[in-house]
Every structure is written in structure tokens, then in C-alpha cells.
Amino acid sequence: MPHEIDPSFLALPLRALADAALARARALGADHADFRFERVRSAAWRLRDGKPAGSSDTTDLGYAVRVVHGGTWGFASGVDLSMDAAARVAAQAVAMAKLSGKVIQAAGSDERVELADEPVHADRTWVSAYEINPFDVPDAEKAGLLTDWSERLLRADGVAHADASLLTVQENKFYADTAGTTTTQQRVRVHPQLTAVAVDPESGEFDSMRTLAPPVGRGWEYLTGAGGWDWDAELAEIPELLAEKMRAPSVEAGAYDLVIDPSNLWLTIHESIGHATELDRALGYEAAYAGTSFATFDQLGKLRYGSEIMNVTGDRTAEHGLATIGYDDEGVAAQSWDLVRDGTLVGYQLDRRIAKLTGFERSNGCAFADSPGHVPVQRMANVSLQPAPDGPSTEELIGGVERGLYLVGDRSWSIDMQRYNFQFTAQRAFRIENGRLAGQVRDFAYQATTTDFWGSMAAVGGERTYVLGGAFNCGKAQPGQVAAVSHGCPSALFRNVNILNTTQEAGA
């Protein structure tokens, strides 16, 4: 059943503040102005060995005014909910644009900020897909479930410690601009996680294993089994898998065929495709902090990103996606589009300024600010590798490998500032011998360049193998901002990928 916007948010003077701010911006000569009011509530619970280790419940509330005046950006924010205060914030934004214009002119630049056109979206409302708002669930019930899960792990042989955590967010946004767009939105997302730790009392050696359940744009139902994840089954299998991992031999370095589970592959997509296809980054606008991209703008339509079976979309509409919205922070309606088609780079992620600057007719809705005190920047959509129609199962992919590894769960990673040279590890690596799993190995990492890796993809699984993974904490921009983003993918087969023995590489 669809939810309505939280009445307590609607009771705030959203439109009156917007009217006051936008009227002042117009009066001061702004070519464009937008007003964004946000209330972001975030709550977290942490348990260590079944005992409370910390909790928090915070709300960030305020508004921002962004303008284009004289071809230059201006931005200011405030928390005073009076009409006079909103007008003053708009005046501050215009003043900032004028000051920035002088600095830019003194530097000898004549580049002007212009925005790609967008249809007017008047009085639109959007609410994300969830059943039970986690903030409607008593804290005692949340803590009780995490305690129960922790105790299940601790009762198992070989589990010395158990960590449990739950992050929940409700994000409300009201947006209005001088073109006439007004949108009101509500997003809910949750991230539950459990980790079991094993310790060998004789050697002191230890290792851990974490649940594979991804963070999602769902509600409390995700934790009770109604949201599509079998928590009972996963908690039951972790201790045995962890014990096997503790006994596992170190991997032999060399070239292997890899079958990579979606629980691992989503992170490789995030780092080597998601960030690389942010056009502001490819143009050099993030070089001072987040880096650049090997997928430069001159290679659009030319760069062979991977094999011909590689099809990747950018998507702001995927159900339960962490980056799914109705409208972005520039009033652009959510869309889905191709980034890589048949292995070739065919698109980028855009906001309105970058779209206009590079000749695109329209933004694809990738502007986002993580708080009312931050200016919107170009942020990542749900970037996903598409499954093959009637494609193979994970078991069938494994069955086609004579010597290889099956990788499950994300762990550590490293990638250069151009998103080209990388290495990734996994929580679990199982040897594949003659099409069958033959036990776990340890101390492994797969290493490649982005184009070599995706070029080695020989098969992608079918829709039954597709899972939407993701993270709450993608970082970008100065001052730093974080954004939640999902990445869907099927299981996939890669041929002759270099596997490092991380212990040997460390000189141990």
C-alpha cells in the first residue's frame, strides 16, 4: 500500500519559505533560483556480543537557496523558519554569486553557468517503496531482534564474537524553483548487518564473516523476512562457513577463471564503472579530491569498456534502489539510460550544468545534496550490469569452469584515481575444480585493469541470479558528502584473471 508524505513534514512552512526566497532571488536579478527544504532523520544501533555498544538518533533540518546570477553559482543555507530569514538566505546566495563572479573574472575565465532545459513538474509528490517505516517500530523491538541474531551466532561452535548493527534513514525533501517546479518526496532505507568473528586460541589467528544482505530502499519488513531476504538461513550457515575459512589453505597465485557472485561484483561495478562514468569526474572537476576517469569524454561512443555481453544502465527508478528518487535536487524527473551497450561506452551520469556544458539536451537526474547545508553535486545513480535473457544459473556458470574461484561477498578494495588499475578481495573464495566447488581458500585478491577485466567477461547469469547490492556511504565532493547507491548485477564468469596471494605480496 503506498504511503503518504509524513504529515509533520508537510506541516512545516515549506511553500511560504520557498516563495519568500525565490521572490527575493528574482528581485535581485537571479537568472535561476531553486529552494530546497530537507529533513533527514538517521538512527543507528550497535551491539557487541549481544550487548548494547552505542546508538544514535539525529535529525538534520534546514533549507538551502541556490542561484545562477550573472553566469555564476551562488549558494547559502539557513535554519530560521521565518519568511524574512528565507529572503535573507536568498540575498546571501546572490551576494555569493557576485563575489564568485569577481574571483572568476580576475582569474581570466569567461565560462558561464548555464543549465540544461527540464520540463516543469508542478506539485509532484513521490514516496519510495516500503511497507513499514522503521521509525514506527519501537526501539526495544529493534534492539531485541539484533540481540536475538547476535545470540544465535554466539551459540555456534567456533564463534568468539558477534557484531550487529542497524542503520535507518527517513529523508524528506521539498524543492521549488523559479521555473515553476515543486516536488515533495520521502525516502526510507535500512542497512542491517551482522559479523561473526572466530579466534584460534593457540595461534591467535582470527578471521570474520559478514552477512551478505545488502542495504536497501525498504522498511522494517526487510528485517522480518517479508522483504525478500532469508535471515534465518544466512545466520545458520555463517558459523560453518567461518570455521571452514579458518582451516582453508592459502591461495596459489596465478591466472584463474572467476565466477563472481553479485554480493561481490556490485562493488567492482561501483568503483570501476559507477565513478568512472560520472561526467564531472571525467571532465576533471573532481581531480583535486575524488580523482578523474580513464573514460574521458572524447571516448564516448568509441571506448571498448568490456566484452560484447556487457550492458550497464544508470537508473534512478529501480524499485528499492538506494539512489532511487522521483525527482533529483535540480527538479529533474528520474530516468533510466544506457552507460555501456554491447561493451561500448555510450553514456554518462549528468546534472543540468554538465549536460548543458557538454551538449546533452537534458540532465538524467544525478544532482544530489546529502543535507540542507550542502550544495547539490553530481552523484551516482543506481549503476547496474544487466542479466542475460534466459541466462545461466550460478551453478551452471560454475559448471563451465575447470580451474577457478567462486567469489562471494565484498571486503577490501583498491583502485587508482583514474578508476583503471584495481584489486578486490572477497569474504569467501571457493576453489572450482572440474565444474565443482572444492572448498575455500584464503589470502586472495583479483587484480586487473578495468577494460581488461570487463573484457574478460565470458558469460552473465540470468535474471534469477540478479541481486541489487549497494552502500550507504559513497563519498565525493569538497566539503565531503555521502550518498546511498545501489548496484544490481547477475553472477558472471570472467576468464584468466590474475589472482594475487596477499600474504606473499605483503612479504609475510
Supply the CATH number for residue 36's domain: 3.30.2290.10
What does the pLDDT read at residue 457?
98
What does the pLDDT read at residue 427?
96
The answer to whether the Cα torsion of 482, 354, 311, 387 is positive or negative is positive
Rounded Cα gap, residues 254 and 130, in angstroms: 45
**Is residue 409 domain-shared with residue 492, that is, in the same domain?**
yes
**Is residue 209 domain-shared with residue 313, that is, in the same domain?**
no
Q: pLDDT band for position 1 (50/70/90)?
A: low
Instruction: List b or e across 419-430, with b for residues whose CB sees 16 or more CB atoms inside 10 angstroms.
Output: bbbbbbbbbbbb
What does the pLDDT read at residue 72?
97
In this structure, are residues 487 and 306 in contact, taking their beta carbons and an 8 Å threshold? no
Q: pLDDT digit string (tens) for 4-24?
A: 999 999 999 999 999 999 999
CB count in 10 Å sphere of residue 475: 12
**Is residue 135 domain-shared with residue 262, that is, in the same domain?**
no
80 located within any domain: yes
Task: Tell me the chain's radius of gyration from C-alpha atoms.
Answer: 24
Rounded Cα gap, residues 334 and 315, in angstroms: 8
334 located within any domain: yes
E-strand stretches of 229-281: 254-260
478 located within any domain: yes
What does the pLDDT read at residue 505?
84
Give the total number of structural domains in the chain. 2
C-alpha cell at 277: 562514468
Rounded Cα gap, residues 47 and 183, in angstroms: 38
149 located within any domain: yes
Domain extent for 423: 254-505
**Is residue 361 domain-shared with residue 235, that is, in the same domain?**
no
Task: Decide: residue 106, CB within 10 A, 0-12 exposed, 13-18 middle, 19+ buried.
Answer: exposed
Rounded Cα gap, residues 366 and 271, in angstroms: 17
Counting residues of the chain whose pLDDT is more than 70, the rounded percentage is 100
Q: pLDDT digit string (tens) for 328-379?
A: 999 999 999 999 999 999 999 999 999 999 999 999 999 999 999 999 999 9
pLDDT at 227 over 90: no
Q: pLDDT band for position 508 (50/70/90)?
A: low
Under DSSP, the state recorded for 274 is: I
Say what angle helices 14-27 and 83-106 make with each other, to 10 degrees: 40
**Is residue 84 domain-shared with residue 171, that is, in the same domain?**
yes
Rounded Cα gap, residues 390 and 395, in angstroms: 14
Q: Is the peptide bond before 479 cis (omega within 30 degrees of 0)?
A: yes
Last residue of a domain, one of 247, 275, 297: 247
Last residue of a domain, one of 231, 247, 263: 247
295 located within any domain: yes
What does the pLDDT read at residue 507?
77
Task: Decide: residue 19, CB within 10 A, 0-12 exposed, 13-18 middle, 19+ buried.
Answer: middle
82 located within any domain: yes
What does the pLDDT read at residue 58?
98
Q: pLDDT band for position 466 (50/70/90)?
A: very high
Q: What is the mean pLDDT of the chain?
A: 96
**Is residue 229 domain-shared with residue 269, that is, in the same domain?**
no
Task: Decide: residue 337, CB within 10 A, 0-12 exposed, 13-18 middle, 19+ buried.
Answer: middle
**Non-local CB neighbours of 506 within 8 Å, separated by 6+ positions:** none
410 located within any domain: yes
**Is residue 185 domain-shared with residue 238, that is, in the same domain?**
yes
**Is residue 236 domain-shared with residue 274, that is, in the same domain?**
no
pLDDT, average across residues 239-260 = 97
Compute the residue count for the chain.
508
**Is residue 208 domain-shared with residue 318, that is, in the same domain?**
no
Last residue of a domain, one of 201, 217, 247: 247
**Is residue 211 domain-shared with residue 258, that is, in the same domain?**
no
2 located within any domain: no
**Is residue 350 domain-shared with residue 441, that is, in the same domain?**
yes
What does the pLDDT read at residue 180?
98
**Is residue 281 domain-shared with residue 201, that is, in the same domain?**
no
Tell me the backbone φ, ψ of residue 455, rounded to 5 degrees. -70, -20
